[in-house]
Chains A and B, each alone.
Chain A
Amino acid sequence: MGFQGLDFYNLDDELHEDERLVRDNVRRFVDERIEPIIGKHYEAGTFPKELISEFADLGLLGANLEGYGCAGMGAVAYGLAMQELERGDSGLRSFASVQGSLAMYPIWAFGSEEQKQRYLPGMARGEIIGCFGLTEPDYGSHANGMITKAERVPGGYRINGVKRWITNGDLCQVAVVWAKLDDVVHGFLVPRGTPGFSTHKIDDKWSLRASVTSELFFEDCVVGEDALLPGVRGMRGPLSCLSQARYGISWGVIGAAMGCYETALNYAKDRKQFSRPIAGYQLVQQKLVTMATEITKAQCLTLRLGRLKEAGKVRPAQISMAKRNNVHMALEAARAARDILGGNGITYAYSPGRHMMNLETVYTYEGTHDIHTLIVGQDLTGLAAFE
C-alpha cells in the first residue's frame, strides 16, 4: 500500500486538479523509485545519481520556472512536489531545491539571454547539475561578510575564496558563486573544469547522507566576462534565491513529518505491549495527536503562503515564519516518531530516524532557526537584532 498522507482538514478540497495530479504522481514516484533504495544510499553515504534523469523526466528540476524546458508549475503545485520528495528523503529534496531554486533560478532571474539558453534547458534535463556557493567556512548566517572576492582582469574576472556546505558541489557542472566585486556581492557562473576551481566532498556527516555536500575552492580562478550574472547586484541576488528555496523547504518538511507520522501511527496500532496495541495508551495518543495537529497547522500555513506567492504578494518574513515553524515542527515529529518506535526507531529499518537526522541539517541550512526568528522579529518590531 502506498503512502496515504495526512489530510485531517480536507485541504485537498482547496487544491486545484493539476495540483492534486502533481502530488499524486510524485507520490507514486517516491513510493516506487525512492523508497526501495533510499535507506541503502543513506547508509552508504551515496547520492542516487541514477535518479537524476528520472527527476528530469518527471519535470522536478526547475519545475516552477517558465520556459527553457521547465514545467512552469504554480507555487502550490511546486510545493506539493517538494513535500512528496522530502517524504522520501530530505537529501533528495535538497538536490531538487538546489538545482531548481538556487542554481537555475538565479540564471533564470538574473542571467543574460545567452546564459539562460546555454544552461537552463540542460539543467531542466538533468544533464547539467548546478550548485550554489554562498556560505563560507567563517561566514554562514553573516553571509554578507563573505571573503570570496572577484577582481577585474583583462577579458573577465579572477575569483579567490572558499565556499563550504555546498549541496551538489561535487556533482556540479556549473557553480553559481557569489563573490564581492568592488565590495558589492555579484553572482558568477563558474563551469567545472575552469582552472583554479576545485571541489572537495565532505563525507564525515551523519545527516543528509544521501546528498552530496562539498567545499568549493577558487584559487586565481579566471572566468570570462560572460560569467557574470548581469541582472543583480548586492545581497538581493542570493537572498532572492534563498526565498525560493526556503519556500520549497516549508513544504518539503511537511512531507518528512507526514512520513514519520504515518510510520509511527501504523507501528503504534500494530505493536502490542501489555496485551494491546500501544496506540491505545494515552501517552502514545497524545504524541500522535500532537504530531497530527502540528502537521495540520503547518499545512494550513503553507497552503496560504503558496497562494500569497502565486498572487505575487508574499513577503520574505512570511517565508521565514513558515520555514522556521515547519522545520521545527517536522524535527519534533521525527523525534516523537522515533520515540514511539522504541528501539526499532534507532535502526535503518524505519525511516523516522533518518528523517530526524536529516532534519537537523534542514533546521540549520537556508537560514538557521534562530536567524529566521530574528528576521520575523525584525519584521514585527522594526528593529534588527542581528546588526
Chain B
Amino acid sequence: MKILVPVKRVADPDNANKVKVSADGARVTSEGLEWKLNPFDEYAVEAALRLNENGASGEKLGEVIIVSLGPDEVQTTIRQPLAMGADRGIHVKADDAELDSTVVAKVLAALVAQEKPDLVLMGKQAVDGDSNTAGQVLAELLGWPMATFAMAIETADGGKTLTIGREVDTGVLTLKVTPPAVVTVDLRIVAPGSVRNGVTPDAHKYGEGARYASLKGIMAAKKKAIDVRTLADLGVTDGAVVTYTKFERPPARTGSVRFVESAQELVQRLKTEAKVL
C-alpha cells in the first residue's frame, strides 16, 4: 500500500508549563518551546510501518510518505518518522498562524490528488489544540470513507479491504472500509497485536508503543528526500476559517485536596459544602 501519514509538531507535553499566553491574550507564544512529534501521529507512523512491512523479515511492502505543515523547523519533526523507517517526506511551508484544521485538510487533499495514496493514516487529534477534525474534514473533501479512533487495523488481501476496530463508549465497533480511505488512530493502535497485514507472521512480537529510531535508521534518514512545497503550490489560498479571539490561562487552583472516610460522606459534603448536587 501507499500510505500518506500527516504529522504535526506539538509542544513537548512534558514541558507543558513552558507554554505561555502573550500579554494581550491574542496568542499562545511558542518561543523557547521544545517540540515533539504529536504522540497520536507517531502511533499513525508506527501503524503505517507495520501495515507496510513483514515485521519478521523486515521486507517492505509499500511506501510510507510523511507530510508536515509549518515553518522550516518541522523538517526535524519529519526526520524522526523517516528514521523509524518511512520512505520520504513532504514539507509544506507555512506559518503556524496560517493553519487550522480546514487549511490542513485542504493541503492534504491537494497532496492526495498528486500522490494518490491508498490510505491516509493519521493521529485522531493533536495534543495541543485537541481539535480532532483534520481527518474528518479531509475525508469529506475527498469523498472517501473514514474510520476514526482506530485501535485495530487488519487486512488479509494486501489492503484491498481494511477491517478497522474503533473504540466507542460501550466497546469496539468493527468497520469494513474499502480504500482509498482516511483512518485516524487512537492510543491502542500500537499495542503489540493491533495491526495485522496478513504478511507479518502472527507469532511475530511487536513491542508496546511506537518503535525507536535505530542509529542506523537515523543515519539512513539523513539521505531521505524531503520535498518542500508552499500553500500556493498546492492551490490552497483561502485562509484559516477558525480565528482565535482570546487565550487565557485557567484560574489558579484554590483550596486543597481533602480526604473523606466514605462515599456517603463524600455525597453529603458535595451536597452541603460544595452544593453541586
Contacts and interface: CB of A to CB of B under 8 A. Distances in A.
A22 B14 contact: no
A57 interface: yes
Query: By DSSP majority rule, is chain B's interface helix, strand, loop, or mixed?
Result: helix
Nearest to B14: A1
B14 A63 contact: no
Interface in B168-202: none
Interface in A10-38: 17-18, 20-22, 24-25, 28-29, 32
B214 interface: yes
Interface string B219-261: 1011000000000000000000000000000000000000000
Interface stretch (B49-57, B76-84, B155-163, B267-275): B76-84
A166 B219 CA distance: 32
B10 interface: no
A25 B218 contact: yes
A187 to B, nearest CB: 26
A77 B217 CA distance: 13
B215 A59 contact: yes
Given A1-B14, A17-B76, A32-B209, A59 B83 contact: no
A21 B14 contact: no
Contact of B219 (A4, A24, A29, A73): A73
A4 B79 contact: no
Contact of A18 (B75, B209, B212, B221): B221
A63 B215 contact: yes
B214 A58 contact: yes
B218 A57 contact: no
Nearest to B217: A59
B105 to A, nearest CB: 28
A60 interface: yes
A25 B212 contact: yes
A105 to B, nearest CB: 16
Query: By DSSP majority rule, is chain A's interface helix, strand, loop, or mixed?
Result: helix
A223 interface: no
Nearest to B215: A59
Nearest to B222: A18
Given A18-B221, A32-B209, A71 B14 contact: no
Contacts of B83: 21, 25
Contacts of B213: 21, 25
A72 interface: yes
A129 to B, nearest CB: 19
A2 interface: yes
A85 to B, nearest CB: 12
Given A21-B218, A22-B218, 6 more contacts: A25-B214, A57-B214, A59-B217, A63-B215, A77-B215, A77-B218
Interface of B: 14-15, 75-76, 79-80, 83, 209, 212-219, 221-222
